[in-house]
């Protein structure tokens, strides 16, 4: 008996670089990326974040340089996070028209007009002295927790203030129930009916946020975020969260983190069909950088593979600290 030979040969379509390119299903572009940036009051500040090489705490002036160089690489969308000069129990400084994100938004808008697209992260954790994502109340004697409904008006005010300062889109990240509906109503009432909302709809209580909390100086001072962020073990619950946000008027929904949640990204994309964003978070970034610095992985290859996997899973928008490197590599640099 001669060995039967295959009539169907998938390898035929892998036989040359040009053919592989012809049949490639997923292609990354710099315009897929949103670069998160951290801004703090002052001038001339450019503090590299130890666990996030190539990412900095910037002041509004150096922020302009950073955005300019990213723009030259083809990155046009940016997400701003603020590190305020002072914090208080309610995160009031987040709402002030001369707050750090408001100031930065105006500076970037003035320098770049509408050549760049500006998203503002909407959460109180960087502004509260306790580091939680809203105001607190006691749910039982001695047991503080985020007061969901008391937090909503503050989030609305923060969004409206950012809208007035020039944000193009608001991105609430606090996992507060009803936040999208409240913000939608607040924006509409303030004359911003056309402003889109990208909700951090399925945001998990994740260990991968470690480096971010150093970057944004926002770690919870006690406890954890398990009463508002999702249990990493849950998938159906993510569908419920996304369905609620869609019903409340979210224009784009986000899954966060990205890499350990590719299954969630795919489920959301298949089920809801609206634009899906994924946040390739600080810990995911730091692991790649650390391994690359040790010579254990090929940084370029691994980074592009990770970003491609996130897009292939269904996220057309990728928030990533790799944005500048990736754009450079995609351009052949």
Residues in contact with ligand PBG by the rule CB under 6 A: 121, 123, 125, 173, 209, 212-213, 281-282
Question: Could you tell me the smallest distance in angstroms from the CB atom of residue 205 to ligand PBG?
Answer: 8
256 is catalytic: yes
289 is catalytic: no
Question: Could you tell me the smallest distance in angstroms from the CB atom of residue 105 to ligand PBG?
Answer: 17
Question: Could you tell me the smallest distance in angstroms from the CB atom of residue 212 to ligand PBG?
Answer: 3
Q: Which residue lies nearer to ligand PBG by CB, 125 or 179?
A: 125
Q: What is the 3-state secondary structure (H, E, C) of the chain?
A: CCCCCCCCCHHHHHCCHHHHHHCCCCCCCHHHEEEEEEECCCCCCEEECCCCCCCEEECHHHHHHHHHHHHHCCCCEEEEEECCCCCECCCHHHHCCCCHHHHHHHHHHHHHHHHCEEEEEECCCCCECCCCCCCEEEEECCEEEECHHHHHHHHHHHHHHHHHHCCCEEEECCCCCCHHHHHHHHHHHCCCCCCCEEEEEEEECCHHHHHHHHHCCCCCCCCCCCCCCECCCCCHHHHHHHHHHHHHCCCEEEEECCHHHHHHHHHHHHHHCCCEEEEECHHHHHHHHHHHHCCCCCHHHHHHHHHHHHHHHCCCEEEECCHHHHHHHHCCC
Asked if residue 257 has a cis previous peptide bond (ω within 30° of 0), the answer is yes
Q: Which residue lies nearer to ligand PBG by CB, 119 or 268?
A: 119
Question: Could you tell me the smallest distance in angstroms from the CB atom of residue 213 to ligand PBG?
Answer: 6
Q: What is the distance between the alpha carbons of residues 332 and 7, in angstroms, rounded to a whole number?
A: 37
Q: Which of 262, 261, 259 is nearest to 286 (CA)?
A: 259
Q: Which residue lies nearer to ligand PBG by CB, 73 or 80?
A: 80
Per the CB < 8 A criterion, the answer to whether 77 and 117 are in contact is yes
Question: Could you tell me the smallest distance in angstroms from the CB atom of residue 90 to ligand PBG?
Answer: 16
Q: Which residue lies nearer to ligand PBG by CB, 61 or 196?
A: 196
Q: Which of 71, 110, 203, 324 is catalytic?
A: 203
Q: Which of 65, 177, 76, 63 is nearest to 119 (CA)?
A: 76
Question: Could you tell me the smallest distance in angstroms from the CB atom of residue 159 to ligand PBG?
Answer: 13
Question: Could you tell me the smallest distance in angstroms from the CB atom of residue 328 to ligand PBG?
Answer: 21
Q: Which of 87, 110, 256, 311 is catalytic?
A: 256
Q: Which residue lies nearer to ligand PBG by CB, 71 or 213?
A: 213
Catalytic residues: 203, 256
């Amino acid at each position: 008996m001669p060995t039967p030979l295959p009539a169907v040969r998938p390898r035929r379509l892998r036989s040359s670089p040009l053919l592989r390119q012809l049949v490639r299903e997923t292609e990354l572009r710099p315009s897929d990326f949103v670069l998160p940036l951290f801004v703090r009051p002052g001038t001339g500040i450019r503090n590299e974040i130890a666990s996030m090489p190539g990412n900095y705490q910037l002041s509004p002036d150096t922020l302009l340089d950073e955005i300019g160089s990213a723009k030259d690489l083809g990155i046009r969308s940016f997400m701003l996070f603020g590190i305020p000069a002072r914090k208080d129990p309610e995160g009031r400084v987040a709402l002030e028209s001369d707050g750090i994100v408001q100031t930065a938004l105006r500076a970037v808008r003035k320098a770049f007009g509408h050549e760049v697209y500006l998203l503002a992260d909407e959460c109180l954790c960087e502004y509260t002295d306790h580091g939680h994502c809203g105001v607190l109340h006691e749910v039982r004697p001695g047991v503080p927790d985020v007061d969901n409904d008391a937090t909503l008006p503050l989030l609305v005010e923060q969004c409206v203030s950012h809208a007035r300062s020039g944000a193009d889109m608001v991105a609430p990240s606090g996992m507060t129930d009803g936040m999208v509906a409240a913000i939608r109503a607040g924006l509409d009432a303030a004359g911003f009916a056309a402003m889109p909302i990208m909700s951090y709809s399925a945001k998990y209580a994740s260990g991968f946020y470690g480096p971010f909390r150093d970057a944004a100086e926002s770690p919870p001072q006690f406890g954890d975020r398990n009463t508002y962020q999702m249990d990493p073990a849950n998938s159906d619950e993510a569908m419920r969260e996304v369905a609620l946000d869609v019903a409340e008027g979210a224009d784009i929904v986000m899954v966060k983190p990205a890499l350990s949640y590719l299954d969630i990204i795919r489920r959301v994309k298949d089920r809801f069909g609206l634009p899906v964003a994924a946040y390739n978070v600080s810990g995911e970034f730091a692991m790649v950088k650390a391994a690359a610095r040790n010579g254990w992985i090929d940084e370029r290859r691994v980074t592009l593979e990770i970003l491609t996997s996130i897009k292939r899973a269904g996220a057309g928008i990728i928030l990533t600290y790799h944005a500048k490197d990736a754009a450079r590599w995609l351009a052949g640099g």
